[in-house]
Amino acid sequence: MTEPVQTPRVFPQRVFSGIQPSGNLQLGNYLGALKRFAAAQDNGIETIYCIVDMHAITVWQDPADLTRATRELAAGFIASGVDPERSILFNQSQVPGHAQLAWIFDCVARLGWMNRMTQFKDKAGKNAEAVSLGLFAYPALMAADILLYHATHVPVGEDQKQHVELTRDIAAKFNHDYGTEFFPVPEPVIEGAATRVMSLRDGSKKMSKSDPSDMSRINLTDDADTIASKIRKARTDAEPLPETLEALKDRPEARNLVNIYAALADTTAEAVVAEFAGQGFGAFKPALADLAVAQLTPISGEMRRLTSDPAEIDRILARGAERANAIAAPVIDRTYDIVGMIRSAR
Ligand code: AQP
């Protein structure tokens, strides 16, 4: 007699992603994450967005700064178009399931897997003995964030791809070790012209909110003059823009500005090159500055308006956490059952 063929469990589509409240939001966070988070709400799929304050404290955060940055990030989500009614928006530490599942996954992930994480190597640098254990375990907490909601799709920038792949490995190993199909194996969604926005000062480094040089990035809180001045002073070369994208291969700074233009204008880098072919940066930079100012200054204005009422932001996050917990708590219960942990009936 032949064995019945088992069809793999199918999970309903659900989007999850997060951002750390670890400083000012920068253009890379907006184009690589926030703008896409808002667009994902139009696809008829449930969207869950998390302010990952537990990730932020893997490096030192002044407590008052963490509180302020959490509220400011919530305002950044909303001002970028994430609707806290259509999406679930909350901060991670308000839902205990993140820490609970992270511990289980710390016991599933292998040390060898974690040792291969390039972001840890970059962030720890030569100081690996002195950094927190949390910074090393960060990707297992990220796996918990995603799998706690049985998320199937994770929109991220290019820099987070390795961590989502580790999440896939953790889900597969948990399922294999416990003989279950409880966790989905989620897909990273890395799309658009700006999956890796680079520093305005160095085309080989990604734009980052923790870069010591403020001129390296555009902050979502920058005013119009500052945005225009940072773009004017962005490092480029003396050549005009070429006819094809291929010809920008060895011109990372020029390529970066073209990508930023394309992502802001919701078009492709190819279309931007076709439009500006033969023109120098004397013409391209002002066009880019106008576009960036037009798109970003309403966001910073709305962020200022929202952060002037911290109690309202706290209410939005509390409501989001309640909705998140309603999904997460049964997942934790079932995980504990699978692992064999006794729990009293609720
Ligand atoms: N330069 C970037 N280009 C495209 N996407 C980016 N993201 C970050 N920088 C870029 C995306 O933003 C989301 C949230 O990132 P995060 O704040 O949680 O952590 P990060 O990736 O480490 O961002 P930063 O700005 O570099 O923060 P710090 O300096 O604190 O480490 C992710 O989807 C990320 O891909």
Q: Say whether both 25 and 92 belong to one domain.
A: yes
Q: Say whether both 162 and 88 belong to one domain.
A: yes
The CATH number that applies at residue 230 is: 1.10.240.10
Q: Say whether both 41 and 68 belong to one domain.
A: yes
The pLDDT assigned to 101 comes to 98
- Could you read off the pLDDT of 301-334 as tens digits, one per residue? 999 999 999 999 999 999 999 999 999 999 999 9
> What pTM did the predictor assign?
0.93
The pLDDT assigned to 7 comes to 78
Dihedral over Cα of 191, 207, 35, 258: its sign: negative
Span 156-163, average pLDDT: 94
The percent of the chain in helix, strand and coil, each rounded to the nearest 5, is 55, 10, 35
Q: Is 22 annotated as a binding residue?
A: yes
Span 193-214, average pLDDT: 92
Q: Say whether both 299 and 330 belong to one domain.
A: no
Name the residue at shortest CA distance from atom 8 of ligand 1: 29
Q: Which atom of ligand 1 is nearest to the CA of 19?
A: 18
Q: Say whether both 220 and 88 belong to one domain.
A: no
Three-class SS state of 34: helix
Three-class SS state of 32: helix
Residue 335 near ligand 1, beta carbon < 6 Å: no
- Quote the tokens at residue 74: 């919530």
What distance in Å separates the CA atoms of residue 304 and residue 43, rounded to the nearest whole number? 29
Q: Say whether both 181 and 326 belong to one domain.
A: yes
Q: Say whether both 152 and 294 belong to one domain.
A: no
The secondary structure of 41-93, three-state, reads HHHCCEEEEEECHHHHCCCCCCHHHHHHHHHHHHHHHHHCCCCCCCCEEEEHH
Quickly state the pLDDT bin for 1 (edges 50, 70, 90).
low
* 68-72 long-range contacts, CB within 8 A, separation 24+: 69/21, 69/22, 69/23, 70/21, 70/317, 71/307, 71/310, 71/313, 71/314, 72/21, 72/24, 72/25, 72/221, 72/303, 72/307
Nearest to 70 by CA among 54, 84, 82: 54
Residue 1 domain flag: no
Is there a contact between 287 and 221 (Cβ–Cβ < 8 Å)?
Answer: no
Dihedral over Cα of 156, 159, 161, 166: its sign: negative
Residue 157 near ligand 1, beta carbon < 6 Å: yes
Nearest to 173 by CA among 112, 132, 97, 99: 112
- Quote the tokens at residue 304: 């200022």
Three-class SS state of 18: strand
Determine the residue of 138, 160, 162, 259 to mutate for testing ligand 1's pocket, defined as the one with the most ligand atoms within 8 A of the Cβ atom. Answer: 160
Q: Is 209 annotated as a binding residue?
A: yes
Residue 6 domain flag: no
pLDDT at residue 133 tops 80? yes
Q: Say whether both 283 and 239 belong to one domain.
A: yes
Q: Say whether both 253 and 318 belong to one domain.
A: no
What distance in Å separates the CA atoms of residue 297 and residue 100, rounded to the nearest whole number? 40
Residue 200 near ligand 1, beta carbon < 6 Å: no
Q: Say whether both 223 and 238 belong to one domain.
A: yes
Residue 36 near ligand 1, beta carbon < 6 Å: no
Span 220-236, average pLDDT: 96
Range of the domain at 66: 14-195+309-339
Is there a contact between 242 and 62 (Cβ–Cβ < 8 Å)?
Answer: no
Q: Is 61 annotated as a binding residue?
A: no
The number of beta carbons lying within 10 Å of the beta carbon of residue 106 is: 16
Residue 123 near ligand 1, beta carbon < 6 Å: no
Nearest to 71 by CA among 324, 318, 328: 318
- The percent of residues in the chain predicted with pLDDT above 90, rounded, is 89
Span 294-300, average pLDDT: 96
The CATH number that applies at residue 180 is: 3.40.50.620
Consecutive H or E run containing 19: strand 14-19
The number of beta carbons lying within 10 Å of the beta carbon of residue 237 is: 13
Kindly report the average pLDDT of the chain as a whole number: 95
Ligand 1 centroid to Cα of residue 316, in Å, is: 23
Ligand 1 centroid to Cα of residue 196, in Å, is: 9
Q: Say whether both 219 and 291 belong to one domain.
A: yes
Burial bucket for residue 235 (CB in 10 Å: 0-12, 13-18, 19+)? middle
- Could you read off the pLDDT of 241-283 as tens digits, one per residue? 999 999 999 999 999 999 999 999 999 999 999 999 999 999 9
Q: Which residues are catalytic?
A: 123, 206, 209
Residue 207 domain flag: no
Q: Say whether both 63 and 105 belong to one domain.
A: yes
DSSP class per residue in 145-198: HHHTTT--EEE--GGGHHHHHHHHHHHHHHHHHTT---S---EEE--SS-SSPB
Is there a contact between 37 and 192 (Cβ–Cβ < 8 Å)?
Answer: no
Residue 345 domain flag: no
Quickly state the pLDDT bin for 3 (edges 50, 70, 90).
low
Residue 139 domain flag: yes
Structural domains of the chain, count? 2
